[in-house]
Structure 1
Amino acid sequence: METVPELFLIRIGLALGMLAIGGFFDIWKREVHDYLWIIFGVAGAALLIFEPSQTEMIFTTLFALIIAPISVIIWRMGLFGGADAFALIALAVIAPQITVSGNTVTPFTTLSNAAVLFVIPLLINAIRNTISKIKGENIFEGFEESTSKKILASFIGYRAKNPKHGFSIEKIEGSVKKIALSFHHAEKEEFSTKPNTWVTPGIPYLLLIIGGFLIQLIHGDMILIWMGINS
């Protein structure tokens, strides 16, 4: 993809600015207005006017927009929110397959990098629960579950004294508690407000998308690189 250095930097700046604003509102209000993606997406499309190889850039952008239907499907399935889907679509317009690494990237690189980063919250949960156990806390008090299910729950969630942005993963069966490892729709299910309950954190997936895009810029596609496809 041929583009002048100034346009290249402008596209990167627009993408990072959009993600920074979106990430701020996602953490603060857990909601990002669609106007953000529309404004930055239009700005990215307007840059096509200044591209020295407009036809090539148009085809590159259209190819990058393959991510659009995939993002919408994932959104409708409830695996992440509408803001996350629109962010990926806007990125495809603003910075289609842009990287400074020289490594291979695809229309799915930001999303695949974000998926890899999803392991971080799981490790944080495990560390949090391990620390609680070391302190002598009975985090599974009142539960009757197998050891394997408790281990799985320790990666997926934690026992929150005052949950704020988490989905409940426990249920009552008779007089005992059970771990409920069910699917939680990102937009339709309400956060738990019950004190001292096991929850899985409602992670702002947009933060993972930001991380995935940054990795795309400086490193490329982590999965392709691990597979040995570097160029």
Structure 2
Amino acid sequence: MTEEIRIIIAICMFAVAAFFDVKERKIHDIVWLIFGGTGAILYAVAFPGIIDIVSMAVGVTLASTFWFFRLYAGADALALISLSVILPTYHDFIIPLSMVVIATAISIVYGIIYNIATNSRTFLLDNKKIFVEFDESLYRRIAAFFLIHKRSKNEKFVFPAERIVSGRKKFRFRYDPDDEFSKDEAYVSLAMPLTLFFLIGLLGLILFIILPHISFGIDEFSA
């Protein structure tokens, strides 16, 4: 029963975080304190096992490493640390690590598909050339087709994907989580809220874990 409560707490935490992340691109620390604190209090009911402790260590290490190398913003790192406390394991799965893998894969695939669709529309339907203003090699232009696109008027949360080097315009494929969002008609990369992908990844992971057990129970009942 305690595990089910932890699942509900974790899902609610990411739902709240994703809501504020999408709406304001800012998550107040009180969110992590409330949900993470609630998860910690539950250990008074059931003490963590060795695997749980190892999973917490893995989650905290991942979050700290990603934040140190500026792959995650502070809120994303706190989200992963909070999850490590709330739901370190479930059915022998190390939840923080598994969720990060799934969420990262989803975000990468989504970004690539979005960029391909946007660039294809610009090139084929709008009959406009792309990347002509850049002084870049062919292979980097091909990579850019999958990684960046020209910002549309309705896009709010995107990072600049171009820079000037010695008077020449160059691609900027790597961004800093603390960058300011781009507001001009420049080439940009997506800055979709990572907590939204965390939520999707967690839901997908939980369903992946529990559905076989539900199916097995139904088969037994039918027999």
What band does the TM-score fall into relative to the shorter chain?
A: 0.7 to 0.9
1:166 and 2:155 are equivalent in the alignment = no
1:192 and 2:182 are equivalent in the alignment = yes
Amino acid at match of 2:7: I
In structure 2, distance between residues paired with 1:90 and 1:49: 17
TM (normalized to structure 1)?
A: 0.79
Amino acid at match of 1:44: G
- Could you say if the C-alpha distance between residues 146 and 105 of structure 1 is closer, same or farther in structure 2, counting changes exceeding 3 Å? same
1:98 and 2:90 are equivalent in the alignment = yes
Matches within 5 A, 1:1-231: 6-51=1-46, 54=47, 57-66=48-57, 67-98=59-90, 105-106=93-94, 107-117=96-106, 118-135=108-125, 136-162=127-153, 164-172=156-164, 177-181=169-173, 183-187=174-178, 189-194=179-184, 196-219=185-208
Paired residues in the alignment total 204
Aligned-residue offset at 1:164: 2.7
In structure 2, distance between residues paired with 1:94 and 1:86: 12
Q: What RMSD, in angstroms, separates the aligned Cα atoms of the two structures?
A: 2.1
Output one character per residue of 1:80-100: Cα deviation in whole Å (capped at 9) or x when no partner. Answer: 11111111111111112225x
Which residue of 1 is the match for residue 219 of structure 2? none
Which residue of 2 is the match for residue 224 of structure 1? none
In structure 2, distance between residues paired with 1:174 and 1:84: 35
TM (normalized to structure 2)?
A: 0.82
Instruction: Give 3-state SS (helix, strand or coil) of 1:14's partner.
Output: helix
Aligned-residue offset at 1:172: 4.1
Which gives a bigger RCO, structure 1 or 2 (Cα 8 Å, sep 6+)?
Answer: 1
- Could you say if the C-alpha distance between residues 71 and 148 of structure 1 is closer, same or farther in structure 2, counting changes exceeding 3 Å? same
Structure number with higher helix proportion:
2
**Structure 2 runs not aligned, ≥5 long:** 210-223
After the TM superposition, which of the residue ranges 31-40 and 112-121 deviates more from structure 2? 112-121
Aligned-residue offset at 1:32: 0.6
**Is the CA contact (8 Å cut-off) linking 1:77 and 1:185 kept in structure 2?**
no
